[in-house]
Structure 1
């Protein structure tokens, strides 16, 4: 007993001493220090700040420090307190009463304003060159305008919107555990809406449910009816008619005709007038910058750039003085409509097909298999401010063909200048009819906003679990905690919180259709991915984690590429750590990877220099401990501040003499060398980073092999089909997803 009392007294004294030290340390800085594990979710990085380089005024005015202290709100949690009434009956009818209390503004005169717009009237009167009014009866042209407008949009029906909101609220509560929305992000959007400018939300596209979920969430937060620009190819005619009454917008097919076609001129005039009326009425607009899920091709949507180009054109013409752009992203634990063959489906979704899919989702949803959803609203920024700043920093630019043609033909062996603009984004069609400079502005803005949306997206628990199963797969509990902390330390948020064991159990229950659980001795559980479609699904989930580790992954692959010619890849880590890597070699290898990897994967900001990105990659490798600075033998140490070294640079010179500028002396930068760290955790982390990009680099390696084996057909599509079949056969042989 005396021993226990003595030990307890020592512990108490030690805790008192530690608390005194903490109070003394914190008193000097005016803050309270507390040891908090990031995994617990108590302190999370606030993501979604707009670019300080392109929009410095928006970066400062639409954000304040108190936003970070606000928590999360479950958008589908509607109780008695969310209505004006109380009582036993209200608790059972709270969904219906909540839908009745939503404010839905009406705009019955919108078609008349579109008909009276200047552009449409010029086409009707035949004053527009090549317009539909030349040689035609104005009454017939008016009927044609009404037909095009009816194909594009319809006035929202308040009763139908309330009924649909009630049904959707019940559906979402059956399918999802929660739809989380950050209160601070919503506060920023409300502050931008109070400025009296139209809101344009630019979103990623993970599911066909996005176009229904986002309007519901923003309607519940008091932003009004959200007009959604839908992809016509994904919906049947019956479903389009329903979505138009709920606020949907569809591009008429005549708008994609040639510029000299009279029907195309009329359709484009109607689309421009409808967009102008929409912005003037300050109705929020949602545009998807990504292609719909399942569409093969580039990530950036041509239709999304078309709608964004209409907004840019309206602001430049002066229809509205400015518009507030809001990057948006939605992340799911599991996408409800993501089936094994959904990535190759091209048939449009019909009304009855959608109803059957909803019934299938409701039947398969249970209390233990319900997923979570996070809606991310990044910081709004001014379109006018971005346009002015973006145009001022443009330089010379070349197309991707002009950059790579000399290398392909063997006329040049050096790395081309990455500062040139690589314009390989698909053209948006004749609808825009903008100048080349304005089209470049739309492409740069699309990349910029898509980068902001991806960087503000939270990493879900299923993404972390899929990455561990594919690339590490050791002790799931320990690795899950480690990967979560590494993600948070890189400035990315996570879409979950709670106890570690419960999180892993819930995640495995969500992925039970794609993994196999094997019970081994002593109660241990072995998790094995299922081959085939299950492995492919895990690969799609793990790709959501790549943006958080992309810089380190590019740097690790560059280092491995340099070491491949010196040390065998299967050689020991100690042998690889002997080799010195110069900074110029690392820059050169990173630039080669930037050319090889798709721009839709890298999502580099247009305002960021590629050489600054190389330095960022190098800094990330040093910060995570993979690279250690090493000074070559015989070179002057970097910390040497001898008088002989600095005397020539510190001499006073006349004010107009710039002959010996410090910026022209790159001797110190060229003399930097690095080597791989010899810490025990570095080999595993290095291989993990390389494996994140290994599926894509493996596909490029197989494509290079195909160049020596494929037979050149008459058409480009035939050659592409041969390449696709070769890659598919190679993947099946290697068992590589």
Structure 2
């Protein structure tokens, strides 16, 4: 409208200019008359425009005519001027008619356009809000969930920390040229006190030295005081050496220098390191609480703790002390890690001797105690070591038990626990194929470290993503668990329990017996939270689809469709994905990242086919990437496998039979996945999963009268409110199996997700027959199981190459040991397996095999 108005003004000024040119200038006696004429004409025209008069051109022309009569003298040229004005008036009237026709045409065009919009509404593309990952559990830590986070922090966009931008006030030449040096120089300086001297003076350590000395003195045949003094001095020297080897020498200068180096090196092999600014803001607020912050990341790479410290340092958050395995205490790199905050602990202990090593326990406990009291933050990996499978490992309880004991004895009033999820588009440290095929782990050396660093710097590993979960109060979590009664052995029906490791850092033998279950529950809750907040990368999604839906290969179009469906599934579940854009571009990018050793492109009949390398040994690495997605679908896969094991000759399935089968299979795979949080009932979670499969994926025929979404929600609520005794009063529900091809294909796809694990467990149970009447070392037993798996794979009775893997076999042996079928005797680094006396026969082994193998049956 303003443009039209301006155009009219310009046109009218041109009209005035023409009029002044036509009329002789000597008709105006004074300059005043000319100036007044122009002002009157322009003011009148502006008023008419603003009022929107319809007959604008006629009125303006008449005003021009009247003004001319008032100011111009009567002479012979007046008639000529009047004729000219009449011509202008007719011209204006013609233009008015043309404009009217144009307006009418515009109105008709707009009406046609509006009609087209109503009939064919265009698709509206809205930007989907990225889910904010890692919020606290509503059941256990409701107060913590409402703190440290706001809608503003949730809505912030992801940020690549490698793209450092100078503050607006720092735009000088030197600042721009040496931006990274300026960045590390401006960082907040923290004081990192050394506590080794305090540890040496602590009464707990002195008592442990005396206790060990007295025990050694009593066990010996020498009874003189001089020998006792020698034992005491020897134990003191050992305690001092243990403390010297363990301690951290965290240095602010070394942190800053390493940060500057990382700014230069990380971009050589990583395209981006992505964090959520809202999560960082939560950590800043937590750091201002004057409570120790305990960082608990999942462990995928040696790069994890370096980058976590890098992110915290560059956001002015106190860097933590990091518990590192003593295998990393190698020349140069050990000293470097120590200066960056690492303190070295023993990763595995001899179960027989470990519990008697009072000195080492006291050194570790006292050192951590004094570090927390001095205000240090802590970081350690609950999994113990890096995951070899891509799935989160079951937690080890040693270090967390020390933290909990420190809280219980009042050394610290509280602590904030921060689960951390870490993921890479491509694994930096290698693929662990050797170890999964039964070969021993290679120890880290100076040469291997140099070789590994050189290889990394000359490769491309894509993007890394770190998600810091919402910090929650240890005090609140302990209080909630104790009040709910979930920590008692009979607290929750059908809740799976596992024995603590006896070869990790003393298991949980540092804390009292009544706190062991509490430590176990907190640890599992943290691992579960980390798994749920782990971002799914493009390589994870592609590997998962190729191994579960397209093992024989698929066209680009098919992969695009299945990837779109997977993205919808993950978004529906509230999971975040680490990629965006068109699925076609995502697939091409992921294929390039995985490389031809894992994924191959072929052209058949003018169509491009993408195939996975689903044979040993390559499939082990491809499974690693896929296993990041597998925990999300684990329970659904178990339901599908459980359905296959039921008798469906009548075309229906009894709900309770299905639930019992699912719980039984969860018990078999209890060392592979955490199916629910410790604060939940597994049976309720299973029932909710079945209801979800009924409504969304329609694996059963839906009875409109019973299985509406509203009724399903009502049943879920009823299960939460009703007591176990009252639940038996409800009639058994029967599901009718859906024979539709879509439902059958869905069950087949879900079943294939965990079937490689079921095959590993089944063949492991079958191979236990080799233990009847004999004993075998762990290495020999695993070799026999490997040989059996390879033979059955060649015969076709084992379908999946990835079933031949060490970790599932070891976890199966743990399960059979927990069930009371196996016994294991450990001495030093050797483990000897044998059958229990009441199970040492072929019939018992066969019964165990059938218990597992029934889930391999086809639909």
**1:391 aligned onto 2:482:** yes
**Cα distance between partner residues in 1 of 2:706 and 2:339:** 72
SS at structure 2 position matched to 1:236 = coil
Query: In the TM superposition, what is the alpha-carbon distance from 1:597 to its structure 2 partner?
Result: 1.4
TM-score between both structures, scaled by the size of structure 1 = 0.80
Question: Does the CA contact (< 8 Å) of 1:226 and 1:283 recur in 2?
Answer: yes
Query: In the TM superposition, what is the alpha-carbon distance from 1:710 to its structure 2 partner?
Result: 6.8
The range that moved more, 490-499 or 138-147, is 138-147
Change in 2 beyond 3 A, CA 1:611/1:257: closer
2:686 is matched with which residue: 609, 614, 632?
Answer: 614
SS at structure 2 position matched to 1:61 = coil
Partner of 1:333: 425
Q: Describe the superposition over 1:16-49 as per-residue Cα deviations: whole angstroms up to 9, x where unpaired.
A: 6999xx9xxxxxxxxxxx9657xx7x32322212
**Cα distance between partner residues in 2 of 1:299 and 1:454:** 7
Change in 2 beyond 3 A, CA 1:73/1:265: same
SS at structure 2 position matched to 1:397 = coil
Query: In the TM superposition, what is the alpha-carbon distance from 1:318 to its structure 2 partner?
Result: 0.4
Change in 2 beyond 3 A, CA 1:496/1:719: same
Q: Matches of residues 43-58 of structure 1 in structure 2 within 5 Å?
A: 43-58=129-144
**1:287 aligned onto 2:352:** no
Change in 2 beyond 3 A, CA 1:427/1:139: closer
**Cα distance between partner residues in 2 of 1:154 and 1:486:** 45
Aligned residues: 661
The range that moved more, 196-205 or 95-104, is 95-104
Q: Which runs of 5+ in 1 are unaligned?
A: 23-33, 400-415, 568-577, 640-660
**Cα distance between partner residues in 1 of 2:587 and 2:518:** 45
**Cα distance between partner residues in 1 of 2:346 and 2:771:** 41
Larger RCO (alpha carbons 8 Å, 6+ apart): 1
**Cα distance between partner residues in 2 of 1:361 and 1:579:** 56
**Cα distance between partner residues in 2 of 1:669 and 1:119:** 58
**1:519 aligned onto 2:621:** no
Query: In the TM superposition, what is the alpha-carbon distance from 1:154 to its structure 2 partner?
Result: 3.1
SS at structure 2 position matched to 1:602 = coil
Question: Does the CA contact (< 8 Å) of 1:713 and 1:719 recur in 2?
Answer: no
**Cα distance between partner residues in 2 of 1:529 and 1:4:** 63
Query: In the TM superposition, what is the alpha-carbon distance from 1:298 to its structure 2 partner?
Result: 11
Partner of 2:776: 715
**Cα distance between partner residues in 2 of 1:261 and 1:129:** 16
**1:730 aligned onto 2:792:** yes
Question: Does the CA contact (< 8 Å) of 1:256 and 1:429 recur in 2?
Answer: no
SS at structure 2 position matched to 1:311 = helix
**1:472 aligned onto 2:549:** yes
Partner of 1:541: 625
Question: Does the CA contact (< 8 Å) of 2:348 and 2:505 recur in 1?
Answer: no
Query: In the TM superposition, what is the alpha-carbon distance from 1:299 to its structure 2 partner?
Result: 6.3
The range that moved more, 225-234 or 379-388, is 225-234
Q: Describe the superposition over 1:91-118 as per-residue Cα deviations: whole angstroms up to 9, x where unpaired.
A: 3422233233333423355223323333
**Cα distance between partner residues in 2 of 1:665 and 1:508:** 54
Q: Matches of residues 456-471 of structure 1 in structure 2 within 5 Å?
A: 456-471=533-548
Q: Describe the superposition over 1:383-421 as per-residue Cα deviations: whole angstroms up to 9, x where unpaired.
A: 11111222331365389xxxxxxxxxxxxxxxx962463
SS at structure 1 position matched to 2:736 = strand
Partner of 1:573: none
Query: In the TM superposition, what is the alpha-carbon distance from 1:664 to its structure 2 partner?
Result: 5.5
Question: Does the CA contact (< 8 Å) of 2:397 and 2:500 recur in 1?
Answer: no
TM-score between both structures, scaled by the size of structure 2 = 0.69
Change in 2 beyond 3 A, CA 1:98/1:561: same
SS at structure 1 position matched to 2:645 = helix
Q: Matches of residues 363-402 of structure 1 in structure 2 within 5 Å?
A: 363-365=458-460, 370-392=461-483, 393-394=485-486, 397=489
Q: Matches of residues 301-340 of structure 1 in structure 2 within 5 Å?
A: 304-339=396-431, 340=433
Q: Matches of residues 578-727 of structure 1 in structure 2 within 5 Å?
A: 579-628=651-700, 666=727, 669-677=730-738, 681-707=742-768, 713-715=774-776, 717=778, 718-727=780-789
Partner of 1:407: none
Q: Describe the superposition over 1:115-139 as per-residue Cα deviations: whole angstroms up to 9, x where unpaired.
A: 3333235457889986999746988
Query: In the TM superposition, what is the alpha-carbon distance from 1:494 to its structure 2 partner?
Result: 0.6
Question: Does the CA contact (< 8 Å) of 1:44 and 1:488 recur in 2?
Answer: no
Change in 2 beyond 3 A, CA 1:418/1:163: same
Change in 2 beyond 3 A, CA 1:604/1:234: farther
**Cα distance between partner residues in 1 of 2:564 and 2:141:** 36
Change in 2 beyond 3 A, CA 1:332/1:225: same
Provide the alpha-carbon RMSD of the alignment: 3.8
Partner of 1:489: 572
Q: Matches of residues 18-37 of structure 1 in structure 2 within 5 Å?
A: none
**Cα distance between partner residues in 2 of 1:679 and 1:548:** 25
Partner of 2:153: 67
Partner of 1:355: 450
Query: In the TM superposition, what is the alpha-carbon distance from 1:686 to its structure 2 partner?
Result: 2.1
Change in 2 beyond 3 A, CA 1:729/1:182: farther
Question: Does the CA contact (< 8 Å) of 1:331 and 1:374 recur in 2?
Answer: yes
Change in 2 beyond 3 A, CA 1:586/1:92: same
2:115 is matched with which residue: 13, 24, 27?
Answer: 13
**Cα distance between partner residues in 2 of 1:450 and 1:290:** 8
**Cα distance between partner residues in 2 of 1:488 and 1:332:** 20
**1:97 aligned onto 2:191:** no
**Cα distance between partner residues in 2 of 1:182 and 1:252:** 34
Query: In the TM superposition, what is the alpha-carbon distance from 1:533 to its structure 2 partner?
Result: 2.6
Question: Does the CA contact (< 8 Å) of 1:198 and 1:282 recur in 2?
Answer: yes
